[in-house]
């Protein structure tokens, strides 16, 4: 199975060791209408925050910075809890690299593209009050713990 991103990446999203780069960690902006998050400095398979808060019924922008050292990631917002996120993740993996691991699902709200280390992407959307789950749908990343909660109030 081939992965999206740079042509030298393995299916697990790892760049060759000689291409790994040091990327400055991105500060978390975890509330308001303009949110920002990245990858944990402790573990490239975790987001740098597990919680985000945004206002309901207003335009929300989320910028995801892939500041991982060597892994490719995306940020996918799901309309539901962990069970729904698990189903969306499985559908994303089934969709495969041609679809950048993004599922065809009613529970999938919005997503960044699949990002190489050092890249970022911003998505903009409006939501009613509720609790939503965000995940990375690249194979094995969700299972490793790459998930969090967006609370819209």
Under a CB-based contact definition with an 8 Å cutoff, are residues 89 and 144 in contact? no
Least confident of 3-17, 94-108, 117-131, 137-151: 3-17
pLDDT tens for residues 104-134? 889 999 999 999 999 999 999 999 999 999 9
Query: CB 129: neighbour CB atoms within 10 A?
Result: 10
The pLDDT-based confidence of 3 (bands split at 50, 70, 90) is very low
pLDDT tens for residues 37-57? 999 999 999 999 999 999 999
pLDDT tens for residues 64-97? 999 998 999 999 999 999 999 999 999 999 999 9
Residues 6+ apart with CB under 8 A from 73: 13, 39, 64, 66, 114, 115, 136, 138, 141, 146
Q: For 15-26, what is the mean pLDDT?
A: 53
């Amino acid at each position: 199975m081939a992965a999206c991103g740079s042509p030298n990446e393995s299916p697990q999203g790892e760049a060759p060791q000689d291409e790994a780069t040091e990327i400055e960690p991105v500060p978390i902006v975890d509330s308001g209408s303009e949110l920002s998050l990245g990858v944990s400095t402790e573990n490239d398979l975790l987001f740098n925050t597990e919680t985000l808060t945004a206002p309901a019924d207003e335009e929300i922008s989320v910028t995801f910075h892939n500041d991982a050292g060597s892994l490719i990631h995306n940020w996918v917002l799901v309309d539901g809890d962990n069970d729904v996120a698990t189903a969306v993740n499985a559908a994303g993996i089934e969709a495969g690299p041609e679809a950048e691991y993004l599922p065809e699902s009613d529970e999938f709200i919005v997503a960044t593209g699949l990002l190489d280390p050092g890249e970022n992407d911003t998505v903009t959307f409006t939501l009613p009050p509720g609790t939503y789950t965000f995940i990375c749908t690249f194979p094995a990343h969700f299972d490793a713990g790459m998930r969090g909660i967006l609370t819209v109030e």
